[in-house]
Amino acid sequence: MAAARRLFWAGLLLALGLPAAAPGGAWAAVDPFTVAGVAVDATAATAAQARDDALADGQRKAFRQLLERLAAPADYGRLPHPSDAEIVPLVAGFQVQEERTSAVRYLATLTYSFRPNAVRGLLRSAGIPFAEVASRPILLVPVLKLGTGAPLLWEPANVWRRSWLDKPPPTGMVPIVVPAGDADDVAALPAAPADSMGPAALAPLLQRYDAGEALIAEAALDAAGVTVTLRRPGVADPLFSERIVQNAVESQADLLRRASQRVAQALEERWKRETAVLPQDDAGGLVVHVPLHGLDDWLELRRRLAATGFVQGISLKSLSRREAIVGLSFAGDANQLKLVLAQRQLALEEAPDGWTLRLAGVQTGERPPAAQ
């Protein structure tokens, strides 16, 4: 027994020093402070000068994309415009995805990483709220309505779904997954009217694509444009609905692509409203009880907490084989913390005797007695 106890506490000491890591499963959260796919093209008197000019241009582009990713569109006009010299200390590094060069020209696609604390400080000093936690992927099921005909789901004529698959809109904090429409998808969700697709009907697809939420995107297409409605399964009231008129010189494919970009933008805006931290928010704190089935539960929970970005500090108050008592510090409020932790499959619940935090699949049950 004594030997087992020594091994347990030895494992705990190792756990306290673990670096952040993504939870298991197919999905891994994107790093909000890394901007990929930045295209640059510069010409100068020499190849070296062209490269330097291109990297400086890419740095500016990437930083602007980063700020727009973190801030709400309503605040874009107030975003800071630092000089090239002021951006340099904010950059943690960059990688070249691909490049071409000549004696006077440099073309490349780059990835830039920025220093989180420095960027947070810049936005706070500018008085701009920001969201820095990525959502779990959203499973988006595109349904097409043409006149009075039956809605189209998996049919080849569903050009709305085809538009999402062929040229998906760029996303930032909210990854979007659209079902491929293969035989397994069709078997999991037979064609049905959108208003009859309840949560239970979409559960198999949700599990298959390892997504956190399923939404139905219905496009009613006519000769003058398209009306897009976004709703939760089984819920009549839409999350978003907008009429998009087709331009005179716009093809149907371009119209649907513009509509898909608007849906992606609406999902981004919703997520930012729910998770944005106000500049004046000081770090809050909660003490939570964590039911455990063993040391592995504690290791996994700490990995997930450390990977959220929203949680600024983790302090272990006590630990036994059946329960940990942990102090959490974070910016924002408890509802935001609950939402953010759910993205890491951590359930935060308030009970009459305090807060409980558990891994998904670990039942709370009765609170165990304190360790002796």
Answer yes or no: do 171 and 269 share one domain: yes
User: Quick check: 323 and 290 in contact, CB under 8 A?
Assistant: yes
Cα 40 to Cα 79: distance, rounded to the nearest angstrom? 23
140 or 273: which carries more pLDDT confidence?
140
Is 130 inside a domain boundary? no
Output the DSSP codes for 107-125: EEEEEEEE-HHHHHHHHHH
pTM for this prediction = 0.71
Tokens of 167: 């040229």
Cα 341 to Cα 133: distance, rounded to the nearest angstrom? 10
Answer yes or no: do 166 and 267 share one domain: yes
> Domain containing 256 — which CATH number?
3.40.50
**What was the pLDDT predicted at 279?**
62
Q: Is 240 helix (H, G, I), strand (E, B) or coil?
A: strand
Answer yes or no: do 12 and 38 share one domain: no
Is 307 inside a domain boundary? yes
**What average pLDDT is seen over the chain?**
83
Answer yes or no: do 152 and 252 share one domain: yes
Is 194 inside a domain boundary? yes
Is 367 inside a domain boundary? no
> Domain containing 58 — which CATH number?
3.10.28
**Confidence band for 235, pLDDT divided at 50, 70 and 90:** confident
Q: Which residues of 315-339 are buried (b: 16+ CB within 10 A; e: fewer)?
A: eeeebebbbbbbebebbbeeebbbb
Answer yes or no: do 193 and 119 share one domain: no
Is 170 inside a domain boundary? yes
Is 372 inside a domain boundary? no
H helix or E strand, kind and range, residue 304: helix 295-307
Query: How many domains does one find in the chain?
Result: 3
Best CA proximity match to 344, nearest among 31, 28, 132? 28
Answer yes or no: do 65 and 156 share one domain: no
DSSP bridge partners of 326: 288, 316
**What was the pLDDT predicted at 114?**
96
- At which of 230, 247, 275 does a domain end? 275
Is 267 inside a domain boundary? yes
191 or 358: which carries more pLDDT confidence?
358
Output the DSSP codes for 242-280: EEEEPPTT--HHHHHHHHHHHHHHHHHHHHHHHHPBPTT
Best CA proximity match to 262, nearest among 209, 217, 206, 202? 217
Q: Residue 63 belongs to what domain range?
A: 34-125
Answer yes or no: do 202 and 271 share one domain: yes
- At which of 275, 298, 322 does a domain end? 275
**Confidence band for 193, pLDDT divided at 50, 70 and 90:** low
- At which of 235, 255, 275 does a domain end? 275
